[in-house]
Homo-oligomer: A and B are copies of this chain.
């Protein structure tokens, strides 16, 4: 019997996944959590073999959670679930110590077989996505550039960004200009979009 923990911020999805998995005779959902903090609490109470964690979660997101679990509970295999298939997520998930990666658009059979494989110690690598992942180059942005670009994403004018980051407007514009160059886009907005897609911010 494989003991599964489910972490997803949407109650309905969480329960529905639990219902789906409980249909399998060799799977047992032992805990359901709405965010990363609940997961750590749940791990203290239950023995868990496989943790199914959504990337998009409030407070402690799925990737940070995966990273944390790989250190505090290395015996728990982490299977990362995501709604959006951003190219960066795949790499980030494995860097964070996850054993598998699945898109929510995958057929349910893939999910259960992934859980069994991960439990057996395998890594789930979709060859097609692995290709895509090597193509995506590493984050070329510096810390400052990422920080400033993140603020720019919401449409804030340079002056406001400068105030938020405690820098001169000129410096902010330089950082943005660099980010725009590195992403080879035309303006801060497109740069922010691209950076987000690539998982750089």
- A-side residues, CB < 8 A to B, are 9-13, 15-17, 19-20, 23, 81, 83, 102, 104-108, 111, 154-157, 185-190, 192-193
Contact = CB atoms under 8 A, between A and B. Distances in A.
B16 A106 contact: no
Contacts of A154: 189-190, 193
Contact of A155 (B11, B17, B105, B193): B193
**Which of A15, A102, A157, A193 has the most B CB atoms < 10 Å from its CB?**
A15
A183 to B, nearest CB: 11
Contact of A19 (B10, B11, B19, B192): B19
18 contacts: A10-B83, A10-B105, A11-B106, A11-B107, A11-B108, A12-B81, A12-B102, A12-B105, A13-B104, A15-B20, A15-B108, A19-B23, A83-B83, A154-B189, A154-B190, A155-B185, A155-B190, A156-B190
A156 B187 CA distance: 8
Given A186-B157, A187-B155, A105 B9 contact: yes
Copies, count = 2
Contacts of A10: 83, 104-105
Nearest to A188: B155
A9 B13 CA distance: 13
A113 to B, nearest CB: 13
A18 to B, nearest CB: 8
Contacts of A19: 16, 19-20, 23
